[in-house]
Structure 1
Amino acid sequence: MGPGSVFYNKSMILFQDEWILVISKPAGLLSIRDGYNPNLPTIQGVLEPKLGKLWMIHRLDKDTSGIMVLARTSEAHKNLDRQFAERKVRKIYYAICVGVPEWDEILIQSPLRVNGDRKHRTVVDFEHGKPAETHVRVISRYGFYTWVEVHPHSGYTHQIRAHLSSIGYPLLGDSLYRIPPNCAVIPPKAENLPAFPRVALHAYALTFSHPNSGEEITFTAPLPEDFSSLL
């Protein structure tokens, strides 16, 4: 039994046909191979022995759970890759941010620069950054944290984490992106926050055109237990 067997479960497969495979990726599973530790389980390593050749279209961070689409033919791969490149794919994420904002909705439009510091973080950079937009809507407020729905209109690495932390509301469990020192938002004390072993981010929904029929389709991934236990 290989190291990836712990991740495989039939429930992670949400839809499949001749052209695409839609999955709910569990937290802890890599989208692509780790260059420093190539033996860690990946999506293709877990699924290809059971389902055959798969093409990766997009990625989720190791700690992020949720919806992903993979191609099952080279033609579907080219079609979906083009949809992502042209930003025709709509994405919805659920996140838990630290703190309780007064706003109900906000559009964050700060330009971002990927790999912008020594920690390889994506940073807000008004001089050299690229245009980026993230729409955030509050779903529910709790004592010291908030459940939000997030629509990233651009698709930069760590965009959601970088944008929310830049306005004073980093994600629960995120040790890499913190509130900037010049931010007016005062965060709650750590002892008032629930312990969470990963970044509290879940890719909830994905809308795209089927690569064969052209029909617009939407898939959603149910919240994992660790995330839903906070709500």
Structure 2
Amino acid sequence: MKVSLFQPFKTNISGISLPEKFTFPFYYEPHELSSIAATELQSYLETQTNFEHNFGLRENQEGLVIGKMFGVLVCQNQEGEIGYLWAFSGKLAGVNQLSYFVPTIFDMLQENGFFRKEEEVLNAINRQIEVLENSAELQTKKIQLEKTKTEALTDIQNQKNKIKRLKLERDEKRNSFTNLSSTEIEQLELELSEESKKESILLKKMTKYWNFQIENAQKDVNLLLDEINQLKEERRVKSGALQQKLFAEYSFLNQFGERKSIGEIFNNNPPAGAGECAAPKLLHYAFEHHLKPIAMAEFWWGQSPKSEIRKHKQFYPACKSKCEPILLSHMLKGLEMEANPFQENPAEGKNIEIVYEDEILLVINKPAEFLSVPGKIISDSVYQRIKELYPNATGPLIVHRLDMSTSGLMLIAKDEATYVKLQSQFIKRTIKKRYVALLDGILEENEGFIDLPLRVDLDDRPRQLFCYKHGKSAQTKWKKIEVRNNQTLVYFYPITGRTHQLRVHASHELGLKTPIVGDDLYGKKANRLHLHAENLTFEHPETREQITISVAPTF
């Protein structure tokens, strides 16, 4: 009996209004219906016995620990009933499809599908290549080739050594010519010269002989290798054709019934795993079964991967590199969505406070949610405002940046010479910075040092990942100030200045394991990110005076 994937709410939702617009999947607060659907899915995950998967939530459970992103799509069927769909990203319990969850959009492993057939052809070629590469005949020919090369090298080297030895003997004979007549010397010189020529000619003949032997032995090997290389080329062509066919067949629906292939969306170069995330799977199934999308949300279930920050049961946006092109360019076409906050100017209505100024520089207090430099969409920024306030200022102006969500002190240079001198202080790390942050939890220790190298998450910019192999050094000292209302106020003293360094160091399991209040990337959203650059000490480029500026946070 086939289980229906459109599930009615177990909770009474009669008093809950439907959202006016569909969820913007890359930045959202879950609608109440999405939260209820997620809670009901989480309840199922806690009690189900249909599959075995180690999420890292139970002690002594066998298998590799793999946390997983799940998604829920609240939708309406043609009878007007409100329900939801469930999905997981990638595979779960080692398979693509499980009861109650929407299937993968394109199952290339389906029986009698073209992929299985073409895969078997490729596997057959691989087996042929393996047989030929491991054949006794090829190994014998290779051994013979190496043996011939070794014999040639030995023979030729022996002849060269002989030529050197005979030359020394000839030189000794020449040294004994003192008592001979000129006629005798001439005769002996002729004999010695002939001997030298004879040995040189022998070396040339020997070299020619061995080159011929090596060439023949190499031909014997190449004859067998050519067959292998032909098979490899056939495999390359067939594999490329299969990939292009996959790109063409792997297609996504939208509400108009239009299909667009993954090859078209990503110009035949999709990132690994594209289309396997929960969001496109949910929407595709809904459109395929004439269900109207109402709201959507995704949450993490299980332990976090060591490299990134994922919190159990916490909601997250859809990933950018894999999902954004699929969803925004095609699948969400025609759906009335919530506003894209990335296209809104967060600095509108906010002002920059100048806290110090002289002829060559100034220090400003940047508000939270205010770009330091122009972005791809929003140009309003500290740089733009300073250019307007100081039209005669030259050079890059912005000596260092703060994350958009971080408030606090920034150094501005009014001319290029000042910029270079201040930049030099940052490079030499002689400028001292102190941040204050409110953490969402209680820290037991009073101070410490965090050393977690970071790199950008290529699949989900601007998120940062902890990575020893490819990450850049990121070091932070910290000190507890006080605990209030189950939250901890701390000082951060960054030694390096990596993107999101303090935010990741606060949130990561190998850091403080306590995210900053309001961190919408590594913690939970609030009215703002509670991180403020409150203290800045630098040497004035002209007077050499040590200047310290402080501005207290508003939280």
**Same-fold call, TM cutoff 0.5:** yes
Q: Does 1:50 align with 2:50?
A: no
Residues 80-119 of structure 1 deviation map (CA, whole Å, 9 limit, x = unaligned): 1111122221110000111101101111112222x13422
- Secondary structure at 2:388's aligned position in 1? helix
Q: CA RMSD in A?
A: 2.0
Aligned length: 203
Tell me which amino acid in the other structure corresponds to 1:8: N
Between Structure 1 and Structure 2, the one with more strand by share is 1
Identity of aligned residues (%): 34
Given candidates 420, 429, 452, the residue that maps to 1:87 is: 429
Rounded Cα–Cα distance in structure 2 between residues aligned with 1:222 and 1:104: 21
Structure 1 position 222, deviation (Å): 2.5
Structure 1 position 5, deviation (Å): 7.4
8 Å Cα contact 1:66/1:203 also seen in 2: yes
Identify if the C-alpha distance between structure 1 residues 198 and 4 changes in structure 2 by more than 3 Å, giving closer, same or farther: closer
Q: Does 1:218 align with 2:545?
A: no
Residues 23-68 of structure 1 deviation map (CA, whole Å, 9 limit, x = unaligned): 1111122110011233xx2113223333332611111112111111
8 Å Cα contact 1:8/1:47 also seen in 2: no
Tell me which amino acid in the other structure corresponds to 1:30: L
Structure 1 position 130, deviation (Å): 2.6
* Aligned equivalent of 1:6: 349
- Secondary structure at 1:149's aligned position in 2? strand
Rounded Cα–Cα distance in structure 1 between residues aligned with 2:348 and 2:449: 41
Q: Does 1:202 align with 2:532?
A: yes
8 Å Cα contact 1:7/1:46 also seen in 2: no
Given candidates 507, 519, 528, the residue that maps to 1:165 is: 507
Which consecutive unaligned segments of at least 5 residues does structure 1 have?
179-189
Tell me which amino acid in the other structure corresponds to 1:80: L
Residues 105-143 of structure 1 deviation map (CA, whole Å, 9 limit, x = unaligned): 111112222x13422222221233233211111101023
Q: Does 1:15 align with 2:15?
A: no
* Aligned equivalent of 1:144: 486
Between Structure 1 and Structure 2, the one with more helix by share is 2
* Aligned equivalent of 2:439: 97
Given candidates 95, 107, 111, the residue that maps to 2:449 is: 107
- Secondary structure at 1:56's aligned position in 2? coil
8 Å Cα contact 1:133/1:154 also seen in 2: yes
8 Å Cα contact 1:92/1:204 also seen in 2: yes
Alignment of 1:69-84 (within 5 A): 69-84=411-426
8 Å Cα contact 2:519/2:526 also seen in 1: no
* Aligned equivalent of 2:315: none
Structure showing greater radius of gyration is 2
- Secondary structure at 2:493's aligned position in 1? strand
Greater RCO, CA 8 A, separation 6+: 1
Rounded Cα–Cα distance in structure 1 between residues aligned with 2:552 and 2:364: 11
8 Å Cα contact 1:92/1:152 also seen in 2: yes
* Aligned equivalent of 2:377: 36
Q: TM-score normalized by structure 1?
A: 0.81
- Secondary structure at 2:443's aligned position in 1? coil
8 Å Cα contact 1:107/1:135 also seen in 2: yes
Tell me which amino acid in the other structure corresponds to 1:208: F
Rounded Cα–Cα distance in structure 1 between residues aligned with 2:429 and 2:382: 23
Rounded Cα–Cα distance in structure 1 between residues aligned with 2:349 and 2:538: 30
Identify if the C-alpha distance between structure 1 residues 42 and 201 changes in structure 2 by more than 3 Å, giving closer, same or farther: same
Identify if the C-alpha distance between structure 1 residues 134 and 219 changes in structure 2 by more than 3 Å, giving closer, same or farther: same
Q: TM-score normalized by structure 2?
A: 0.35
8 Å Cα contact 1:124/1:163 also seen in 2: no
Tell me which amino acid in the other structure corresponds to 1:49: E
Identify if the C-alpha distance between structure 1 residues 18 and 137 changes in structure 2 by more than 3 Å, giving closer, same or farther: same
Alignment of 1:170-189 (within 5 A): 170-178=515-523
- Secondary structure at 1:137's aligned position in 2? strand
Structure 1 position 72, deviation (Å): 0.9
8 Å Cα contact 2:478/2:493 also seen in 1: yes
